[in-house]
Amino acid sequence: MKTNLFLSHSSSSYAIADNAYRMMCSELNNHFILISGESGAGKTEASKKILQYFAVTCPMTQSLQIARDRLLLSNPVLEAFGNARTLRNDNSSRFGKYMDIQFDFQGIPVGGHIISYLIEKSRVVYQNQGERNFHIFYQLLAGGEEERLAFLGLERDPQLYKYLSQGHCAKESSINDKNDWKTVSNAFSVIDFTEADLENLFGIIASVLHLGNIGFEEDDQGCATIPDTHEIKWIAKLLGVHATVLLEALTHRKIEAKTEEVICPLTLELSVYARDAMAKAVYGRTFTWLVNKINSSLVNKVGQCTLGTLLLLTWKTVIGLLDIYGFEVFDKNGFEQFCINYCNEKLQQLLIERTLKAEQAEYEMEGIEWEPIKYFNNKIICDLVEERHKGIISILDEECIRPGPATDLSFLEKLEEKVGKHAHFETRKLAGPKGRKRIGWMEFRLLHYAGEVTYCTKGFLEKNNDLLYRHLKEVLCKSKNVILRECFLRAELENRRRPPTVGTQFKNSLSSLLEILISKEPSYIRCIKPNDRKEPSKFDDFLIRHQIKYLGLMEHLRVRRAGFAYRRKYEHFLQRYKSLCPDTWPHWHGPPAEGVERLINYIGYKPEEYKLGKTKIFIRFPRTLFATEDALEFCKHQLVARIQATYKSCLGRREYVKKRQAAIKLEAHWRGALARKAIQRRKWAVRIIRKFIKGFISRNKPLCPDNEEFIVFVRKNYILNLRYHLPKTVLDKSWLRPPGILENASDLLRKMCVRNLVRQYCRGITAERKAMMQQKVVTSEIFRGRKDGYTESLNQPFANSRINEGDINPKVLQLISHEKIQYGVPVIKYDRKGFKARQRQLILTQKAAYVVELAKIKQKIEYSALKGVSTSNLRDGILVIHVSPEDKQKGDAVLQCGHMFEAVTKLVMLVKKENIVNVVQGSLQFFISPGKEGTIVFDTGPEEQIYKNKNGQLTVVSVRRKS
């Protein structure tokens, strides 16, 4: 039995969870952890920490990863639909939750099951000042996708909805609804919710909001009507019902009288009641469906396996986790607080009975001398309150069921009549003069273990009845929404019995919960609320002292200190620790009590550390048990090591013998195989050598069986060697020398290789280089073998132009702007009469050649008037452009150009005339003016010169170089 205090500290939760988990694994029994405390004390957070601890520390397999994730992510979903902001807590659980976490025989979490208790349905339709509705409404509006909200007919502003704005705090700075929506959406995707499930679920949530906005008016007959059917249409669409049928069900009531049915109109007040009852019923049953859906996703699914494995997999132990609503005291306490506080009374009573009453009874039964400690004061209160609560619930049910008018006031009068003499019950009528001022006419006060609470009876009968008109129930049973069809079964319409009241349902479910808890080993976490203002790091000493007092924590400590920390039956104790004593290991055949006595004497227990009862051993100090556990762990290691050593030795010897026999057999077979293989290889080698010798001798003879293989080998070897000696470029003339029998094949291969290299070379030539090479071809046709210096010009690439457009005077460019410049080059022009040298530019266009001096065009030679071009066979750069005398030109142009081969080639390609270039030897005549010609003499000498000789001729001297 373990009782622990949790004061908003995660490490305490971890320690308790770890202790429960280890005890469950070692003793293979079921445990539960009860988390209790006031509202806002941190119970929900403590349960999250425990789940996180199990998720992180328990061994996990890949196949069970999904089960673990679903177990963890069920929390945010249940919190969204079952938690709300109250005056005491921003995330207050408005339902009770008991979760069984299932573990397999290895301690791996394999599934879970959740039971919910008393969802506070009244919060759906009404909230006190400063409180909110359930989180899911605000999360959907804040974080839902635009398409989803449009499909549901919702706006983002929660103030637009009556069911969300009554508490006047729809938006709370401490709550991030948008982020919480992302967490819930992610959880839905993991917990096996389909898109259809979500569509139906949020359709119900949206329909509740639309229900709250339905407005009723009273007609002339005092009956309720709905003037605006906009919300009715949305509800009908989302729930899959007929709008007219729903409209009638909200404003009329169906009454069955024997075999007849009568439809009666409802008053305005009854229509509002019907609307709110429908909203509460729909939300409450949807929450139950949600819990069942989560449970179905947490079920451990065992696949096909052997019988033994199946038994192991289905052998489960559980750790229960009870996160129940805390004790609540508000300014205005209603039926919900009455049920919640009753639950807390029962749990407190259970704890006291398990810690005090059971403790004392066990000592007395075992004959252990122990000074009993008196029961807590609140133990007496709990016993009395339970009796009083049962009486109040019985009276409440009587008032709900009995014929005749029953009101909350008549219920209060009945309480005064039947429970008025109870010591812890008080009303304004029964109170003394001082107490009357603090109790209203519709209120009664109860003394709980945690203090006095005043309850207002207004709404007690309505909330306890929680009736839904039959007409509305018929509408919901016919809904096309799959969830509602599962929640509202048609069988309900056939059952004429009155459904049990909420109080009776809660009382029965609480009894079943206590039966579950009693069957398991308990651990307790007592959450202490530090202050009432929800402020961090602030401790109200008076509030904390009050909680410690009414929870009885100090009395618990006294009981544990005065009693024995550990007790166990002799059989179990001996079975666990018998390996620590040679007399009891491996088997003890005498009475268990004698075996335990001999065991503890061998271990060395001191008399003050233990007591021996009739059937159990009692150990006083935890350190004694811890020392025994340490000794057991050490002994386990020794035993395991000894077993492993013996077993491994046996396995080793057995394996060695098998391997030795197998090795001998393998060696024998392998040696034989190798010998046969060597013989075959030698025979094959002899045959091959003989063949090649014969082939070499007869290699020059025609192909025959004697030389066929040799020739094939020579061919193959030559081809394989040739691939590493192929030429890389067209100019590479190297080639692997072939054997005599392959000379013809080698020549063919060489030609193919050269052709392939030429093809690759041609494919790699760019358009620009191709154009240049075409120009080189033209140059070759004109000058090859006819003019010195041609060979040296082959390696000099031609340029598109030797003059940039920026080097030409703008005035010249303007004069020839109608023509496109194809080529330009600097030249030296020699006068036709005095042969004076002048710097000029030769510009070639598509139609003419221009000799340009700065900003003037000195001579224009149209291609149509071009008679020819002359040059010498020497290395000079002289060229003469001949013009036709009939065209009234100035005469032939005598030019010296540093790029003579390039310029002449460009000119010839632009003129497009064949054989216009004349390469002369010795001298040439040129036209000066009509009837007058000049002579240019070409000669060789030690140095290059150009001058006018004594005969008035232009002499051009070139240096002849040795070729």
Mean pLDDT of successive 10-residue segments in the chain (963 residues)?
43 80 81 82 84 79 70 87 87 86 81 85 89 93 93 93 90 88 91 89 94 91 90 93 91 77 86 92 93 85 42 66 80 85 81 71 76 48 58 80 79 84 83 78 85 87 81 89 89 76 84 84 84 81 82 70 76 87 87 88 86 85 84 87 92 94 94 94 91 86 85 89 88 88 88 91 84 87 89 87 89 88 92 87 92 88 89 92 75 90 92 87 87 88 88 87 62
- Domain 13-299+313-334+462-559, CATH: 3.40.850.10
Cα dist from 348 to 481, 609, 944, whole Å: 42, 31, 127
The single residue of 92, 122, 624, 958 carrying the catalytic annotation is 92
Amino acid (one-letter) located at 702: P
Domain extent listing, the chain? 13-299+313-334+462-559, 564-666, 722-763, 772-918
The single residue of 3, 12, 86, 93 carrying the catalytic annotation is 93
The single residue of 326, 503, 563, 877 carrying the catalytic annotation is 326
Residue 19 appears among annotated catalytic residues: no
Phi, psi of 46 (to 5 degrees): -65, -40
Buried b (16+ CB within 10 A) or exposed e, 857-887: bebbbebebbbbbbbbbbbbbbbbbbbeeee
Asked if the 772-918 domain carries CATH number 2.30.29.30, the reply is yes
Sign, CA torsion 63/65/68/69: negative
Kindly report the CA angle at 801 between 797 and 806, in degrees rounded to 5? 145
- 872 a known binding residue? no
- 74 a known binding residue? no
Rg (Cα) of the chain, in Å, rounded? Answer: 55
Residue 93 appears among annotated catalytic residues: yes
| Alpha carbon distance 609, 600 (integer Å) | 11
- 80 a known binding residue? no
Q: Which of helix, strand or coil describes residue 919?
A: strand
Residue 89 appears among annotated catalytic residues: yes
Residue 44 appears among annotated catalytic residues: yes
Q: Write down the residue that tokens 């760019």 correspond to.
A: 766
Give the Cβ contact number of residue 421 at 10 Å: 9
Q: Write down the residue that tokens 């052709």 correspond to.
A: 755
CA count, 13 A, side-chain hemisphere, 902: 23
| Alpha carbon distance 486, 470 (integer Å) | 17
Sign, CA torsion 82/86/88/91: positive
Residue 326 token pair: 């805390």
As a three-state string, the secondary structure of 859-874 is EEEEHHHEEEEEEECC
| Alpha carbon distance 81, 72 (integer Å) | 16
Phi, psi of 185 (to 5 degrees): -65, -40
The pLDDT value recorded for residue 500 is: 82
Fold of 564-666: Alpha-Beta Plaits (3.30.70)
| Alpha carbon distance 726, 753 (integer Å) | 8
Strands 932-940 and 923-929: antiparallel
User: How do residues 554-598 score in pLDDT, each as one tens digit?
Assistant: 767 766 666 777 778 888 888 888 888 988 888 888 888 888 888
- 47 a known binding residue? no
Tell me if 78 sits within 8 A of 294, measured CB to CB.
Answer: yes
- 391 a known binding residue? no
DSSP-H helix ranges across 764-919: 767-783, 790-793, 810-815, 900-911
Tell me if 566 sits within 8 A of 543, measured CB to CB.
Answer: no
The single residue of 120, 131, 231, 328 carrying the catalytic annotation is 328
Task: Give the predicted TM-score (pTM) of the model.
Answer: 0.60
Spell out the residues 6+ positions from residue 448 whose beta carbon is closer than 8 angstroms to its own. 327, 341, 344, 345, 381, 385
- 37 a known binding residue? yes
Q: Write down the residue that tokens 């049928």 correspond to.
A: 245
User: How do residues 779-809 score in pLDDT, each as one tens digit?
Assistant: 998 889 898 888 888 888 888 899 988 888 8
Residue 963 appears among annotated catalytic residues: no
CA count, 13 A, side-chain hemisphere, 315: 13
The single residue of 3, 13, 40, 707 carrying the catalytic annotation is 40
The pLDDT value recorded for residue 887 is: 59
DSSP-H helix ranges across 784-897: 790-793, 810-815
Amino acid (one-letter) located at 692: F
| Alpha carbon distance 276, 267 (integer Å) | 14
Strands 954-958 and 945-948: antiparallel
Q: Which of helix, strand or coil describes residue 506?
A: helix
Kindly report the CA angle at 133 between 129 and 136, in degrees rounded to 5? 155
State the DSSP H helix or E strand holding residue 936, giving kind and residue range, or none if neither: strand 932-940
The single residue of 36, 44, 47, 628 carrying the catalytic annotation is 44
Sign, CA torsion 255/475/117/131: negative
Residue 40 appears among annotated catalytic residues: yes
The pLDDT value recorded for residue 61 is: 65
User: How do residues 532-550 score in pLDDT, each as one tens digit?
Assistant: 777 777 888 888 888 887 7
The pLDDT value recorded for residue 560 is: 66
Closest to 296 in 3D by CA, of 482, 111, 48: 111
Phi, psi of 723 (to 5 degrees): -65, -20
Residue 183 token pair: 């967490």
Tell me if 27 sits within 8 A of 103, measured CB to CB.
Answer: no
For 356, which DSSP code?
I
Phi, psi of 949 (to 5 degrees): -85, 180
For 267, which DSSP code?
P
